[in-house]
């Protein structure tokens, strides 16, 4: 090659490199970092919603059960499963006097988004917003069993999520919640690395899509209480699950300051033969968070996951009592069954929803939950302790 041709070839390569460099995003040839694709206004909106939901002493009422699930609960106590009964029941959960003193948010089933309050005549998302309760939605679809994983599952719905998020945002929602249920079964090797990674990658992608559509993502890794595993095993597996989750969120470029966590409490399996005090359980939960929960995320709202209200409140209270200055998060509740199951029991022997009685009990339950979220609840007897089975 002549000197002239060689110089021309070198110049062409430099020109090509310059074009490639100019096309490379400012964050480099890797995934987007820390929500860099979002505008300052988008980030501020997400952070404001997180701050509202993460108010001290307030929590979330989770009433996102589909018509079939809540219908089976109705039918179990003799109430007919009609759309009007579902609507009236949910209105009671939102509009019980002083409910907004203890609730910062409510997770709705898509059906509820398009039902109206009989008090204001407004659709529920707007009625909730008017009383200071942030409306959100459950956007995932059906559960799917992963082949070869002994019954372990993953949620469907990512492919069509962006379109649904646009719809939910237009309907007045400010956040969404995606649940990934996981069981500990040491005899079958679950949760396997594949089960964990598949579910946590999905949660991260869901969070990324939500934020792009203007919704705060609540990520919910839900480890079941089923099993006979001990507390140390629960700590080890929950730590693995959450560390994989947060790494996946960071790798996806999720804006962590605009995200929230809804997780199970770290507990031994219900059939565990070892006794644990409520204080031991509280310390285990804080150990997991201290080792991997980003301080950029302002709040974790625990699900009840089959615990009674008394146990869930005692454990949340103990966690908050054991918090120190190195634990910056708001730790509160996002309860469904713990609050609702006692309400359904009031329906037995009645042909219609006893809404007034339900209101009175629900108000007392919310007061208990709010006190626990502040570490100001006084437990009864040994509530919150794990008793060997």
Active site residues: 220, 262
Instruction: Kindly report the number of other CB atoms within 10 A of residue 380's CB atom.
Output: 10
Strand partners, 182: 223
Q: Residue 296, Cβ neighbours under 10 Å: how many?
A: 14
d(CA 210, CA 192): 27
Pair 96, 362: CB distance under 8 Å: yes
Positive or negative CA dihedral for 311, 312, 313, 314? positive
Q: Strands of the chain (E only): list them.
A: 59-63, 103-108, 134-137, 143-145, 153-155, 175-182, 216-223, 260-261, 299-302, 330-335
Helix (H) or strand (E) holding 116: none
Token match 């649904």: residue?
164
Q: Is the dihedral of CA 124, 215, 371, 74 positive or negative?
A: positive
Instruction: Report the phi/psi class of residue 269: left, alpha or beta, with left for phi > 0 and alpha for psi in -120 to 50.
Output: beta
Distances from the Cα of 277 to the Cαs of 54, 223, 312, in angstroms?
28, 20, 13
- Asked if 355 contacts 93 with a C-beta cutoff of 8 angstroms, the reply is no
Q: Based on the number of CB atoms within 10 Å of its own CB, is 179 exposed (0-12), middle (13-18) or buried (19 or more)?
A: buried
| Helix, strand or coil, per DSSP, at residue 57 | coil
Terminal C-alpha separation, the chain: 84
Are 75 and 81 a contacting pair, CB within 8 Å?
yes
β-pair partners for 330: 299
Residue found under tokens 């396997």: 192
């Amino acid at each position: 090659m002549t000197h002239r041709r060689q110089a021309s070839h070198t110049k062409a390569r430099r020109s090509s490199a310059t074009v490639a460099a100019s096309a490379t995003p400012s964050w480099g040839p890797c995934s987007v970092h820390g929500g860099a694709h979002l505008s300052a206004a988008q980030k501020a909106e997400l952070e404001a919603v997180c701050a509202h939901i993460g108010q001290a002493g307030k929590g979330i009422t989770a009433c996102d059960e589909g018509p079939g699930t809540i219908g089976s609960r109705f039918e179990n106590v003799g109430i007919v499963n009609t759309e009007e009964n579902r609507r009236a029941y949910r209105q009671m959960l939102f509009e019980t006097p002083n409910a907004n003193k203890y609730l910062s948010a409510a997770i709705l089933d898509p059906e509820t988004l398009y039902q109206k309050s009989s008090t204001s005549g407004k659709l529920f998302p707007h009625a909730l917003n008017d009383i200071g309760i942030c409306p959100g939605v459950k956007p995932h679809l059906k559960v799917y069993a992963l082949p070869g994983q002994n019954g372990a599952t993953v949620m469907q719905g990512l492919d069509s999520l962006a379109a649904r998020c646009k719809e939910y945002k237009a309907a007045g929602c400010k956040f969404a919640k995606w649940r990934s249920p996981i069981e500990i079964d040491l005899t079958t090797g679950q949760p396997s690395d594949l089960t964990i990674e598949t579910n946590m990658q999905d949660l991260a992608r869901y969070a990324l899509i939500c934020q792009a559509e203007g919704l705060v993502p609540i990520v919910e890794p839900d480890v079941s209480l089923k099993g006979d595993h001990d507390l140390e095993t629960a700590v080890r597996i929950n730590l693995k699950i959450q560390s994989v989750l947060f790494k996946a969120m960071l790798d996806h470029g999720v804006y962590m300051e605009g995200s929230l966590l809804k997780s199970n409490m770290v507990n031994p399996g219900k059939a565990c033969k070892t006794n644990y005090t409520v204080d031991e359980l509280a310390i285990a939960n804080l150990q997991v968070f201290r080792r991997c929960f980003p301080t950029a995320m302002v709040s974790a709202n625990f699900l009840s996951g089959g615990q009674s209200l008394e146990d869930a409140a005692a454990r949340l209270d103990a966690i908050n009592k054991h918090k120190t200055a190195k634990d910056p998060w708001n730790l509160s509740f996002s309860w469904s069954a713990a609050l609702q199951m006692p309400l359904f029991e009031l329906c037995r022997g009645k042909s219609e929803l006893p809404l007034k009685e339900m209101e009175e009990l629900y108000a007392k339950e919310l007061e208990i939950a709010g006190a626990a979220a502040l570490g100001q609840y006084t437990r009864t007897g040994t509530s919150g302790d794990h008793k060997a089975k």
